[in-house]
Structure 1
Amino acid sequence: MQVEEIEINSEYIQLGQFLKLANVVESGGMVKLFLADFPVFINGEQDQRRGRKLYPNDLVEIEEVGAFRVIQQ
């Protein structure tokens, strides 16, 4: 499986912001709907909270979308 690296320049990023940064959703308003329709796994654990904090080296996997690794700038 190909893992796309998404770079952040802060200590952490919230899942909702991350989905926009990774171009998974187009706007913040779409995040809630997206999370309701697609299971999101963070480090192998399902979590649908858009406020979930993601830190460098966290792995985000979304069925039918792909896998993303959070990296620090």
Structure 2
Amino acid sequence: MITFKLDTEYIHLIQLLKVVNIVENGGEAQAVVSEGLVYCNGEVEHRKRYKVRKGDVVEFLHYKISII
């Protein structure tokens, strides 16, 4: 599990995927979200601008990101 410390109110989903280095660029991040491959709190998330906040759990492939 990856733990990501959030210093602001939120981070956009595609930015999070790039920051934790599980995608190579923004285009790839947008593609995996659009294809329904990313889960937020157990549900498929299709919104690229979804605001990830403290307490959320994001899953993509075998990665699990806990937001603290």
TM-score band, normalised by shorter chain: 0.7 to 0.9
TM-score, with structure 2 as normaliser: 0.84
Bigger share in strand: 1
Q: Does 1:9 align with 2:12?
A: no
Larger radius of gyration, structure 1 or 2?
A: 1
Match of 2:41 among 32, 40, 43: 43
Q: Counterpart in 2 of 1:58?
A: 56
Structure 2 alignment gaps of length 5 or more: none
TM-score, with structure 1 as normaliser: 0.79
Q: How many residues align?
A: 68
Over the residues paired in the alignment, what is the CA RMSD in angstroms? Answer: 1.5
Q: Deviations over 1:4-45 (max 9, x none)?
A: 101221110000110011111122222222224461111111
Check conservation: 2:36, 2:45, Cα contact below 8 A: no
Identity within the alignment, %? 32
